[in-house]
Amino acid sequence: MSQELHDEILPRLFEAVSLKSLQLQQAIRSGDDQLVRLLDRELAPLISEVVEYRACNSREIHLQLRFVSSLIREDADDRSCVVRNSTILSVLLDRYFGTSAVSDVAGFGVGNTYQSLGDDGLLNESILNALPDMVAVVTTDYRYLYSNAAHGASLKCSPLELVGRHISEFMEQGLFEDMVRERLDRCFRGECVEYVYLRREGDRGLFVRCRLAPLKGHDGRVVGAVLTMQDSGESQNMIAA
């Protein structure tokens, strides 16, 4: 197969799934249960094709993950769809960032921050979930692509509940625009950024250390940011402050 034909596969799959999803949503709104069941059966194999497609470079990985994240956002009102799409995203994350990722796609790594996690330099989900630090991957449109268990617990959400949602949803009012956005933008330009912020918990404030490291594709292009947070152990009385 020529490279030109290969490059057309993912866009065609995305278009087919999007069209079928739109038809399904229209059938749901019209209350046509029989058509809903028919379209749902037709949608399933199309989604399977998207999941089974093996990306051969970082660009295709990014497109694949972003597409499934967009499905999660579009179907946010349908819990069964969210669960299904989140499961799909989990499968893709495990494929490209899990222990078998090296044999699938080489060279899709992160900055120096995570090279100590393994010789392959890849985000290893099982290792990240075992870390006490709060770790997340944020896309260039400021949405969660991945969260480890500790980060999810700090926000009282499961990791899958965070995927596709804008990070500002989980911050105090004004924090994203006043502090976080500018630092993420610097990270997306290739800079490693460190800062400390005060997180409110009841009448106490906890100082949290944050580090942002660029997540780069094989071609060196930044496709997101790896966020690591640690409680400093220092606190402040918010009432007195």
Last residue of a domain, one of 75, 97, 119: 97
Token couple for 10: 């993912």
Confidence of residue 118 (pLDDT cuts 50, 70, 90): very low
Q: Do 228 and 110 share a structural domain?
A: yes
- Please give the pLDDT value at position 41: 87
Quote the distance between the C-alpha of residue 205 and its chain's center: 28
Last residue of a domain, one of 97, 117, 134: 97
Angle between the 58-74 and 79-97 helix axes, to the nearest 10 degrees?
160
- Please give the pLDDT value at position 167: 93
pLDDT cut 90: percent of the chain above it: 11
Q: Give the whole-angstrom CA distance, residue 2 versus residue 179.
A: 47
Q: Do 112 and 193 share a structural domain?
A: yes
Q: Do 190 and 91 share a structural domain?
A: no
Q: Do 66 and 91 share a structural domain?
A: yes
Q: Do 67 and 127 share a structural domain?
A: no
Q: Give the whole-angstrom CA distance, residue 119 versus residue 121.
A: 5
Structurally, the chain folds into a number of domains equal to: 2
Query: How much is the mean pLDDT over the chain?
Result: 74
Inter-residue contact 160 to 90 (CB < 8 Å): yes
DSSP conformation class of 103: H
DSSP 56-83: -SHHHHHHHHHHHHHHHHHTTT-HHHHH
Domain that holds residue 87: 3-97
DSSP conformation class of 99: T
Confidence of residue 76 (pLDDT cuts 50, 70, 90): low
Q: Per-residue pLDDT averaged across 14-26, rounded?
A: 87
Residue 173's CB is within 10 A of a number of other CB atoms, namely 8
Q: Do 149 and 57 share a structural domain?
A: no
**Per residue in 191-229, pLDDT tens?**
989 998 887 666 667 788 898 988 876 667 788 888 888
Q: What is the CATH number of the domain that holds 157?
A: 3.30.450.20
Last residue of a domain, one of 45, 64, 97: 97
**Per residue in 138-181, pLDDT tens?**
988 999 888 888 889 989 988 878 888 899 999 888 889 999 99
Q: Do 124 and 92 share a structural domain?
A: no
Q: Per-residue pLDDT averaged across 88-116, rounded?
A: 48
pTM for this one?
0.50
Tell how strand 222-237 and strand 204-216 pair up: antiparallel
Burial readout 186-212 (b: 16 or more C-beta within 10 A, e: otherwise) = ebbeeeebeeebbbeeeeebeebbbbb
